[in-house]
């Protein structure tokens, strides 16, 4: 909170109380830390009523939050200018460019929220932070389920949603800190320069089960998800969601065609084979434009040691795959590490449960067992939350 700008606003509920409050405000003007009628604040995030020195309420903060969402989703300010006066003129009179024009991959539901929040007329914009929270939750839910026909893509859509908060979308929309984040960011933001390099687009495809062990089918999506998560910490890469890439499966897949359709420069794919007590995983990265393999590696771990499998794969991705893609080895591992083998195995198996009402209960039960065995593994808690469509009532949460 910016205490230099904050004020106490007395609640008013009738016309007579409004008039009385205005009289009291005029009488106390000299006592206020921030004078009524003064336009104070971080210019790019100010609302029209703040620019014009009018009375303010919570809806001003919601306007500022809308500006923040616009900036985070497009990389640009909605109201720009070379001088403070030019920015003020844009805030009061001009409409910003449609967000989807600056970021064609922006979901329609999210664009609606970004457009509504910074409405110039405060009676038309969001009236309460809880309204934005509800719309963000709804947008996440609608983006993560129900739009594809096959079971494989339904699974991938659910699994992709679990990682969304760790990608460029995921990190930005923590609705629990809406107003505080807006005010803090206005003072402490670091804006990327307009000339920053465009991230390299990459897709991680479902893996092929090269053996006859059907009990290992859950690894088709679980392994790519771990790889996509590790790659997502490299800021120079843009990872296509598994909901998009999951339909590109099969040993006879045309990788160049898939790359053109997804508009990616590189594709990461692979296969695995479970024989006896060993699990062999082969990873491959392909430069689709030049139709050449840039990296390939085979790992072997005990099939009963999924944590070891995870550590080996993520380690090789950071130390070998990232450099092969032209990225330094400095990308940090952002997730907590699993500590319990059974809990992590359950977490991976939850990926194989379709995201519809009946099987979804099964996924919740699996994840409840997982977090019960390893309470410190954050991704399992996140998956539990996503499957519940909101924070659960369990006291464990």
Query: And the tokens for 280?
Result: 């062999």
Say if CB 158 and CB 218 are below 8 A apart: no
Question: Regarding predicted confidence, which is higher, 311 or 36?
Answer: 311
Most trustworthy range by pLDDT among 50-59, 261-270, 359-368: 261-270
DSSP 105: T
Helix axes 341-349, 357-373, angle to 10 degrees: 160
| Four-way CATH pick for 200-335: 3.40.50.300, 3.90.226.10, 3.30.360.10, 3.40.50.10070 | 3.40.50.10070
At residue 266, does pLDDT exceed 90? yes
Say if CB 203 and CB 242 are below 8 A apart: no
Mean pLDDT (whole number) for 365-382? 82
β pairing state of 208-209 and 266-275:
parallel
At residue 200, does pLDDT exceed 80? yes
Q: Parse the chain into domains and list their residue ranges.
A: 24-188, 200-335, 337-391
CATH topology of domain 24-188: Transferase(Phosphotransferase); domain 1 (1.10.510)
Question: Regarding predicted confidence, which is higher, 187 or 361?
Answer: 361
At residue 329, does pLDDT exceed 70? no
Q: Which pTM does this prediction carry? A: 0.46
Q: How far apart are CA 62 and CA 48, in angstroms?
A: 12
Question: Regarding predicted confidence, which is higher, 169 or 161?
Answer: 161
pLDDT band with cut points at 50, 70 and 90 for residue 247: confident
Q: How far apart are CA 182 and CA 41, in angstroms?
A: 12
pLDDT at 282: 93
pLDDT at 281: 92
Q: Tokens 């970021």 sit at which residue?
A: 103
pLDDT band with cut points at 50, 70 and 90 for residue 360: low
Say if CB 246 and CB 156 are below 8 A apart: yes
Mean pLDDT (whole number) for 77-92? 82
The whole-chain average pLDDT of the chain stands at 74
Taking the CA atoms of residue 243, residue 247, residue 251 and residue 253 in that order, the dihedral angle to the nearest 10 degrees is -110
CA 358 to chain centre: 26
| Nearest in space to 169 (alpha carbons), one of 194, 149, 206, 144 | 144
Query: And the tokens for 273?
Result: 């084979």
Range list of H helices, the chain: 15-27, 48-51, 58-74, 84-93, 99-102, 108-116, 129-144, 151-163, 178-188, 219-231, 242-245, 255-262, 306-316, 322-324, 341-349, 357-373, 378-388
Mean pLDDT (whole number) for 179-200? 49
Q: What is the pLDDT of residues 277-326, one digit of tens each?
A: 889 999 999 998 888 999 999 988 888 888 888 888 888 888 889 888 88
Please state, in angstroms and as integers, the Cα–Cα distance from residue 12 to each residue in 20, 28, 53, following that order: 9, 17, 20
Listing DSSP states for 307-332 in one string gives HHHHHHHHHHIIIIIHHHTT--TT--
pLDDT at 287: 92
Same fold, 24-188 and 200-335: no
Share of the chain above pLDDT 70, in %: 68
């Amino acid at each position: 909170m910016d205490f230099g700008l904050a004020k106490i606003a007395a609640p008013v509920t009738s016309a007579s109380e409004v008039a009385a409050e205005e009289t009291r405000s005029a009488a106390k003007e000299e006592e206020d830390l921030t004078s009524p009628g003064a336009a104070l604040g971080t210019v790019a995030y100010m609302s029209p009523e703040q620019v014009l020195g009018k009375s303010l309420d919570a809806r001003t903060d919601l306007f500022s939050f809308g500006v923040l969402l616009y900036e985070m989703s497009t990389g640009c300010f909605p109201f720009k200018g070379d001088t403070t006066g030019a920015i003020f003129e844009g805030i009061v009179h001009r409409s910003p460019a449609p967000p989807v024009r600056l970021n064609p991959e922006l979901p329609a539901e999210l664009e609606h929220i970004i457009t509504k929040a910074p409405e110039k007329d405060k009676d038309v914009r969001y009236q309460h932070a809880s309204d934005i929270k509800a719309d963000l939750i709804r947008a996440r839910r609608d983006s993560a389920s129900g739009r594809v026909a096959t079971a494989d893509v339904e699974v991938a859509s659910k699994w992709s949603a679990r990682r969304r908060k760790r990608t460029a979308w995921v990190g930005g929309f923590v609705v629990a800190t809406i107003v505080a984040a807006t005010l803090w960011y206005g003072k402490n933001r670091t804006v990327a320069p307009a000339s920053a390099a465009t991230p390299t687009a990459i897709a991680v495809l479902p893996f092929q089960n090269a053996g006859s062990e059907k009990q290992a089918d859950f690894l088709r999506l679980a392994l790519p998800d771990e790889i996509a998560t590790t790659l997502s910490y490299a800021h120079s890469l843009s990872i296509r969601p598994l909901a998009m890439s999951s339909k590109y499966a099969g040993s006879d897949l045309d990788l160049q065609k898939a790359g053109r359709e997804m508009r990616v420069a590189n594709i990461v794919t692979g296969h695995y084979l479970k024989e006896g007590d060993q699990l062999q995983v082969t990873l491959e990265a392909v430069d689709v434009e030049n139709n050449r393999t840039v990296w390939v590696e085979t790992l072997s771990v005990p099939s009963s040691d999924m944590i070891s499998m995870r550590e080996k794969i993520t380690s090789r991705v950071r130390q070998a795959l990232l450099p092969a893609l032209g990225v330094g080895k400095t990308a940090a591992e952002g997730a907590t590490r699993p500590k319990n083998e059974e809990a992590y195995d359950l977490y991976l198996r939850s990926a194989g449960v379709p995201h519809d009402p009946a099987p979804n209960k099964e996924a919740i039960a699996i994840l409840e067992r997982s977090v019960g065995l390893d309470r410190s593994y954050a991704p399992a808690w996140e998956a539990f939350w996503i499957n519940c469509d909101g924070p659960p009532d369990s006291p464990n949460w």
